[in-house]
């Protein structure tokens, strides 16, 4: 078992106390809203379409059972009984009262959690592979490095007022499940000549100007990680644009100035910065590597698992879709999808959170992860325990066998909650999921990533969906653009717009035509939608989306 | 969008904001602020609306982010003209939460009389 609790609990408590005083001053009129807004945002408090929203950091998606129980307590006590997993491995509460948030932050601090840097132009939550430390295709656990970056970036004085927000992702697996190419900085752990280091990507991002990152360093030795990252961000801090919010992300800086120019500045700054690192970072890394040591895996028979698979079709189906290969024989990672057909993607009730905490303790080496696709992962479950885990999940409505399928949709909160949104996302996701369950095509369609965003800020990562859906306001009516061919994993690609947008009630019929065409076009059942799209190009898929009107 | 809106008799508007302490949506009405948009004051005159908006801005110890937005005269009071305001007046579409619960409570209360 490991301890994910950050050590700086006193600092977190201090920040919570500070925020309590700030709220008091806001309520008694000593602070205006203009003065208060940046203070509340620094503590993850947004004002959304219907209410305040509190975004709580779940560093690299890793959370312990007692922290999960605290989230359940907050959901019941201060919200409407649920929380929402975000696409950045955080949780959001949609209905807290401002007057309650100081109490919520105090309680979070008691389990080492906080909402610091979940907003504002700062370095945000560092994200990683939800199967970190468990995946069969992983060559190095990225979490110690993610923790090093988290502790270094938290309250980093130089980087509290960057030109724009800044997101770092890291992976140590063969398959990139952290979407490094879509982040301001992406890190891929590598071995070279017996040394550990990183392939460093810079300038990726989605939003209104989607761009895939570029490799700025083929190999950065691990001991230089913080100095180099600091060099990149300090270069951006000076040269990033502050005149235009929409051109302020590092992707624009790199794009406008050119990678070579930017890289030359970074390398020069790196040479300076490197002199200031005297080994404390390496000592911290050694501590973090111990903290994330593998749990004591057990070596037991898996006969019961195989027998249960043979006897129970529903269980077999769930194990076919919702398990991820583990690096240790006899183990699997369990994907608990929060995508039951017709449910809101990523919403978890307090009871469901408590169940996950219990299951993690009983069967999962006390480890839980929030994935960027708004699901929860039990990374280490022995296969002999899977029938019991499945039975418990099934009772709680959490055993839907749909991980990676049509209904496993990423959707931002959209205009049902978000004040920036231009259209709704959630009901589109609900209707697509229900539609393909009702018509029985979901299993036949197989692996498919649908991603929905309710505005061009792209929190739903629509650019990376095999099918992306972007909700817009067209002359006062909700309208949805469809993009095709995006991919965040195997071959990172930004989806291409298929054509004119669809009104709300035409989105599901359009997706239906598209997927029926795919079933006709694919070479065989093993060819995924994205593979067929790459082989055939967009034309036959566009033809399905925009059929020629029948001639009279 | 809405802050630049200028109300006229043909295109009236309401002033809306969020409650500072609770966060929920509120509308300016004759005697202050209401969570029931049907009770909102409908402004048809630019000067009167501007004055009311100034007053709202001055009540920053009660509300956050007041703005003027188009509405139309309905049988039971002002109604939204844009879907964003319709969602603000109703609540999210995935759960029965938000303003719609207040309306339900009012209906229940009325049927119990």
* pLDDT one-digit tens code per residue, A386-442: 999 999 999 999 999 999 999 999 999 999 999 999 999 999 999 999 999 999 999
**Are A426 and B64 within 8 A, CB to CB?**
no
CA-to-CA distance for A449 and A122, rounded, in angstroms?
Answer: 30
Architecture of domain A307-395 in this structure: Alpha-Beta Complex (3.90)
Query: How far away is chain A from the Cα of B94, in angstroms, using its nearest Cα?
Result: 7
Q: CB count, 10 Å around CB of A22?
A: 19
Which of B24, B81, B87 faces A51 most closely, judged by CB atoms? B24
**Are B65 and A47 within 8 A, CB to CB?**
yes
Asked if B94 reaches chain A (Cβ–Cβ under 8 Å), the answer is yes
Q: Which residues contact A369 (CB under 8 A, 6 or more apart)?
A: A61, A62, A63, A89, A130, A131, A132, A376, A377, A379
pTM to 2 decimals?
Answer: 0.95
Q: Which residues contact B108 (CB under 8 A, 6 or more apart)?
A: none
Task: Using an 8 Å CB-CB cutoff, list chain A residues near B102.
Answer: none
In B, minimum Cα distance to A51 occurs at: B23
Asked if B89 reaches chain A (Cβ–Cβ under 8 Å), the answer is no
For A280-290, letters b (16+ CB in 10 Å) and e give ebeebbeebee
**Are A478 and B83 within 8 A, CB to CB?**
yes
Supply the pLDDT for residue B103. 74
**Are A430 and B94 within 8 A, CB to CB?**
yes
Confidence label for B113 from pLDDT (cuts 50, 70 and 90): low
In B, minimum Cα distance to A37 occurs at: B64
**Are A51 and B95 within 8 A, CB to CB?**
no
Alpha carbon A312 to chain centroid, angstroms: 33
Q: What order do you get walking across the sheet with B32-34 strand by strand?
A: B32-34, B25-29, B13-19, B63-74, B77-80
Which of B21, B97, B99 faces A95 most closely, judged by CB atoms? B97
Give the total residue count for chain B.
Answer: 113
**What does DSSP assign to residue A7?**
S
State the residue for tokens 């076919």. A320
Identify which of A131, A132, A92, A97 has the alpha carbon closest to the alpha carbon of residue A115.
Answer: A92
CA-to-CA distance for A216 and A259, rounded, in angstroms?
Answer: 7
**A480-523 pLDDT, tens digit each:** 999 999 998 888 999 999 999 999 999 999 999 999 999 999 99
In B, minimum Cα distance to A431 occurs at: B94
A142-291 to CATH, choices 3.30.1200.10, 3.40.50.150, 3.30.413.10, 1.10.3720.10: 3.30.413.10
Evaluate if residue A50 carries a pLDDT over 60: yes
β-sheet bridge partners, residue B15: B68
Supply the pLDDT for residue A489. 87
**Are B87 and A49 within 8 A, CB to CB?**
yes
Residue B104 lies in a domain: yes
Asked if B1 reaches chain A (Cβ–Cβ under 8 Å), the answer is no
Architecture of domain A9-109 in this structure: Alpha-Beta Complex (3.90)
Task: Using an 8 Å CB-CB cutoff, list chain B residues near A430.
Answer: 94
> Between residues 65 and 84 of chain B, which touch chain A (CB distance below 8 Å)?
65, 81-84
Please answer whether residues A78 and A108 qualify as being in contact, where contact means their C-beta atoms are separated by less than 8 angstroms: no
β-sheet bridge partners, residue B78: B73
State the residue for tokens 């925009």. A546
Confidence label for A115 from pLDDT (cuts 50, 70 and 90): very high
Please answer whether residues A378 and A368 qualify as being in contact, where contact means their C-beta atoms are separated by less than 8 angstroms: yes
Task: Using an 8 Å CB-CB cutoff, list chain B residues near A476.
Answer: 81-83
Asked if B18 reaches chain A (Cβ–Cβ under 8 Å), the answer is yes
Residue B74 lies in a domain: yes
**Are B23 and A51 within 8 A, CB to CB?**
yes
Residue A161's Cβ-side half-sphere holds a number of Cα atoms within 13 Å equal to 3
Residue B41 lies in a domain: yes
Which of B20, B25, B93 faces A98 most closely, judged by CB atoms? B20
**Are A426 and B98 within 8 A, CB to CB?**
no
Residue B5 lies in a domain: no
Residue B7 lies in a domain: no
Asked if B21 reaches chain A (Cβ–Cβ under 8 Å), the answer is yes
Substitution target from B61, B70, B94 for chain A, most A beta carbons within 10 A? B94
Give the total residue count for chain A.
Answer: 552
Task: Using an 8 Å CB-CB cutoff, list chain A residues near B20.
Answer: 26-27, 98
Q: What does the angle CA A513 – CA A457 – CA A12 come to, to the nearest 5 degrees?
A: 130
Residue B99's domain comprises 13-112
Please answer whether residues A121 and A153 qualify as being in contact, where contact means their C-beta atoms are separated by less than 8 angstroms: no
Supply the pLDDT for residue A10. 87
Asked if B109 reaches chain A (Cβ–Cβ under 8 Å), the answer is no
Identify which of A109, A76, A114, A111 has the alpha carbon closest to the alpha carbon of residue A95.
Answer: A76
Domain residue ranges of chain A, discontinuous segments joined by +: 9-109, 142-291, 307-395, 410-545
Confidence label for A142 from pLDDT (cuts 50, 70 and 90): very high
Identify which of A416, A538, A539, A529 has the alpha carbon closest to the alpha carbon of residue A478.
Answer: A416
**A266-312 pLDDT, tens digit each:** 999 999 999 999 999 999 999 999 999 999 999 999 999 999 999 99
Own/partner contacts of A311-315, CB < 8 Å, gap of 24 or more, are: A312/A387, A314/A394, A314/A399, A314/A401, A315/A386, A315/A387, A315/A390
Residue A97: what are its φ and ψ, rounded to 5°? -85, 145
**Are B87 and A415 within 8 A, CB to CB?**
yes
Residue B4 lies in a domain: no
Rg of the Cα trace of chain B? 14
**Are B23 and A47 within 8 A, CB to CB?**
yes
Tell whether domain A410-545 is in CATH 3.30.413.10: yes
**B3-40 pLDDT, tens digit each:** 479 999 999 999 999 999 999 999 999 999 999 999 99
State the residue for tokens 């990374």. A379
In A, minimum Cα distance to B90 occurs at: A50
Query: How far away is chain A from the Cα of B111, in angstroms, using its nearest Cα?
Result: 26
Query: How far away is chain A from the Cα of B18, in angstroms, using its nearest Cα?
Result: 7
Report the domain count for chain B. Answer: 1
| Strand duo A376-382 + A331-336: pairing | antiparallel
Q: What is the mean pLDDT of chain B?
A: 91
Asked if B25 reaches chain A (Cβ–Cβ under 8 Å), the answer is yes
């Amino acid at each position: 078992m490991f301890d994910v609790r950050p050590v700086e609990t006193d600092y977190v408590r201090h920040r919570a106390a500070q925020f309590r005083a700030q709220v008091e001053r806001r309520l008694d009129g000593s602070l205006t809203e203009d003065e208060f807004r940046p203070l509340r945002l620094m503590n993850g408090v947004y004002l959304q379409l219907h209410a305040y929203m509190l975004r709580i950091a779940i560093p690299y998606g890793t959370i312990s059972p007692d922290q999960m129980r605290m989230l359940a307590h907050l959901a019941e006590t201060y919200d409407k009984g649920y929380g929402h997993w975000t696409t950045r491995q955080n949780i959001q509460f949609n209905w807290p009262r401002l007057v309650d948030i100081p109490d919520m932050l105090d309680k979070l601090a008691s389990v080492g959690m906080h909402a610091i840097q979940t907003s504002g132009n700062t370095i945000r939550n560092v994200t990683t592979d939800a199967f970190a430390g468990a995946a069969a295709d992983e060559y190095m656990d990225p979490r110690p490095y993610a923790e090093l970056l988290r502790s270094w970036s938290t309250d980093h004085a130089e980087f509290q007022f960057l030109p724009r927000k800044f997101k770092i992702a890291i992976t140590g697996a063969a398959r990139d499940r952290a979407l490094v190419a879509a982040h301001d900085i992406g890190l891929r752990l590598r071995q070279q000549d017996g040394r550990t280091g990183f392939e460093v990507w810079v300038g990726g991002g989605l939003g209104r100007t989607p761009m895939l990152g570029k490799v700025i360093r083929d190999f950065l030795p691990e001991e230089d990680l913080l100095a180099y990252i600091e060099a990149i961000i300090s270069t951006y801090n000076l040269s990033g644009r502050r005149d235009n919010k929409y051109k302020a992300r590092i992707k624009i800086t790199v794009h406008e100035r050119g990678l070579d120019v930017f890289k030359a500045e970074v390398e020069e700054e790196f040479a300076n910065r490197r002199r200031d690192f005297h080994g404390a970072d390496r000592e911290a890394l050694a501590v973090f590597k111990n903290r994330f040591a593998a749990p004591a895996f057990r070596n037991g028979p898996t006969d019961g698992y195989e027998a249960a698979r043979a006897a129970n079709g529903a269980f077999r189906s769930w194990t076919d879709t919702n398990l991820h290969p583990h690096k240790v024989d006899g183990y699997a990672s369990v994907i608990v999808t929060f995508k039951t057909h017709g449910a809101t993607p990523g919403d978890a009730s307090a009871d469901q959170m408590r169940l996950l905490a219990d299951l993690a303790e009983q069967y999962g080496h006390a480890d839980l992860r929030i994935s960027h696709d708004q699901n929860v992962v039990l990374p280490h479950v022995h296969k002999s325990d899977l029938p019991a885990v499945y039975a418990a999940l099934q009772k709680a409505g959490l055993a839907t066998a749909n991980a990676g399928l049509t209904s496993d949709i990423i959707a931002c909160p959209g205009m049902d909650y978000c004040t920036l949104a231009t259209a709704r996302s959630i009901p589109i996701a609900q209707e697509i999921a229900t539609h393909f369950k009702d018509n029985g095509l979901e299993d036949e369609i197989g692996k498919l990533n649908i991603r929905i965003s309710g505005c061009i800020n792209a929190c739903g990562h629509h650019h990376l969906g095999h099918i992306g859906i972007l909700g817009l306001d067209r002359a006062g009516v909700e309208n949805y653009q469809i993009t095709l061919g995006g991919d965040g994993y195997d071959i990172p690609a930004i989806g291409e717009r298929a054509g004119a947008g669809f009104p709300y009630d035409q989105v599901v019929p359009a997706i239906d035509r598209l997927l029926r065409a795919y079933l006709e076009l694919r070479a065989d059942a093993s060819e995924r939608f994205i593979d067929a799209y790459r082989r055939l190009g967009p034309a036959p898929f566009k033809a399905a989306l925009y059929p020629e009107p029948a001639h009279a | 969008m809405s802050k630049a809106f200028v109300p006229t008799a043909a295109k009236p508007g309401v002033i809306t904001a969020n409650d500072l302490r609770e966060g929920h949506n509120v509308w300016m009405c004759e005697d202050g602020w209401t969570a029931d948009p049907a009770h909102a004051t409908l402004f048809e005159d630019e000067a009167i609306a501007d004055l009311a908006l100034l007053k709202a801005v001055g009540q920053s110890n009660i509300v956050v982010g007041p703005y003027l937005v188009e509405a139309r005269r309905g049988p039971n009071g002002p109604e939204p003209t844009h879907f964003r305001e319709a969602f603000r007046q109703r609540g999210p579409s995935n759960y029965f939460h938000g303003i719609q619960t207040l309306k339900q409570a009012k209906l229940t209360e009325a049927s119990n009389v």
